[in-house]
Amino acid sequence: MSTPELKAPRPPELLSPWRTEARVALQQEARAFAREVVLPLADALDPQKGEMPRTLIDAMAEKGWFGITIPADYGGMGLGVFEYCLVSEELARAWLSVGSILARGQGLGTQTLDDDRRRALLAKSARGQWIGSIALSEPTAGSDLAGVRTRAVREGDAWVLTGTKRWAGFAQGADFIEVLARTREPKPGEPRSAGLEPFLVVKEPGRFPEGMTGTVIDKIGYHGFLTFELELDGVRVPESDRLTGLYGDEGADADAGGFASVQRGLNIARVHTAARAVGVARAALEDCTLYLQEREQFGHPIGDFQALRFALADMAAEVAQARAYWQQVAHLLDQGEPAESESAQVKLLATEMAVRVTNQAMQLHGGNGYTTERRIERYWRDARLTTIFEGTSEIQRRIISDRMLPRP
């Protein structure tokens, strides 16, 4: 008896009104790259908790993807949040961390006081030669970033940073680390985030700068880059590497003054996380579509059982809904709308969806899903992070409800 041909899962198409020829071409390019280049690397490296090779980053740089949102005048692609998320969904469909590394370009670490330097750094960022690590969180400051204790003390024309940072992803491989530190205590009547400023610690890729040591945190997923706890003991940063803008409490209103651009950055990060979560959930959905046809029990492919067909249908509907919403919110941000509540809503909904869908995918795979022989367990581990990082689900709910009710 010949084996019937499996019906391949259909990757999503861009729908009206978002569909343009240029976007379809970009999506197809990212999709092919994810399938042919990223997925084999993820399969080989994730089980070893390995780091993505520099050659992968260079290949992405070659495509211009580290500068998707950087204006063309600085060598970027001059596109919007929509395109940035479009590419990220495709990359995260293969490996979450590769969807994430894209965020470490896009002009990160370029907001210097000196205009010429800022322009030069933007051009480097667009070329994928200025890839950063972000060190905001600390052992005692996560959701409540206003509790950051790392100190920045002025000494002549430099700042001296001392403290402990936790969760700095890609800190060793990066060209710079953006460190949030306290320069002074808040004055009476000021928000708790007053006095917090981001500093640029410029470094050689592959090593830590003088005064900094890093210890790898042993994560259960999100492999592809290492994540570090950093000890800063007198790291010197020139005044020219103090960045403009303030980072506030992730859960707080934009109440820190001069905060609009940072708020916009947080909103973009939220919709980007939603798109990455959709990518991971879609991977689980597509693998299930094949498995339900391959696996037989009781003399039937398990995809003949209505309970499982309906489970797959629910997964497909949830993934499509979350995708439609990230596209809507990305469009709003591209129109210059603040979209604060919407960004928190899409982050909340898409990441909670990814946890549910990857969990269901494991169930549909039975025992085989609970092994390292298949990719489902990777999707499940990676999806689990998405409700925690970039602001937990509870913090997103706080942002949303704070815009609906008076704050207690």
Ligand X SMILES: Cc1cc2nc3c(=O)[nH]c(=O)nc-3n(C[C@H](O)[C@H](O)[C@H](O)COP(=O)(O)OP(=O)(O)OC[C@H]3O[C@@H](n4cnc5c(N)ncnc54)[C@H](O)[C@@H]3O)c2cc1C
Which residues carry out catalysis?
A: 390
HSE-up of 216 (CA within 13 Å, CB side)?
Answer: 13
In the bound state with ligand X, the residue whose beta carbon lies nearer, of 304 and 402, is 402
Closest-approach residue to ligand X (CB): 142
Q: What is the DSSP letter of 36?
A: I
In the bound state with ligand X, the residue whose beta carbon lies nearer, of 33 and 225, is 225
- Enumerate binding residues for ligand X (CB under 6 A): 134-137, 142-143, 167-169, 219, 222, 227, 251, 385, 388-389, 391-392, 394-395, 398
CB of 48 to ligand X, least distance (A): 17
CB of 66 to ligand X, least distance (A): 17
**Helix ranges, 295-339 (H):** 306-334
Rounded to the nearest angstrom, the gap between the alpha carbon of residue 60 and the centroid of all alpha carbons in its chain is: 16
User: In terms of Cα–Cα distance, which of 2, 114, 46, 81 is closest to 329?
Assistant: 81
CB of 180 to ligand X, least distance (A): 8
Query: How many C-beta atoms lie closer than 10 Å to residue 285's C-beta?
Result: 25
Contacts of residue 9, Cβ cutoff 8 Å, sequence gap at least 6: 285, 286, 289, 290
In the bound state with ligand X, the residue whose beta carbon lies nearer, of 18 and 389, is 389
CB of 254 to ligand X, least distance (A): 17
CB of 388 to ligand X, least distance (A): 5
User: In terms of Cα–Cα distance, which of 223, 225, 250, 240 is closest to 138?
Assistant: 250
In the bound state with ligand X, the residue whose beta carbon lies nearer, of 109 and 169, is 169
Residue 220 has which token pair?
């259960």
Inter-CA distances, 17 with 13, 23, 350, 402, Å: 12, 12, 21, 31
Phi, psi of 407 (to 5 degrees): -75, 135
CB of 221 to ligand X, least distance (A): 8
- CA pair distance 75, 53, nearest whole angstrom: 24
Contact 342, 327 (CB under 8 A): no
Q: Is the peptide bond before 191 cis (omega within 30 degrees of 0)?
A: no
Any idea which residue has 């707080």 for tokens? 252
User: In terms of Cα–Cα distance, which of 146, 219, 136 is closest to 178?
Assistant: 136
In the bound state with ligand X, the residue whose beta carbon lies nearer, of 250 and 342, is 250
In the bound state with ligand X, the residue whose beta carbon lies nearer, of 97 and 293, is 97
Any idea which residue has 């399969």 for tokens? 43
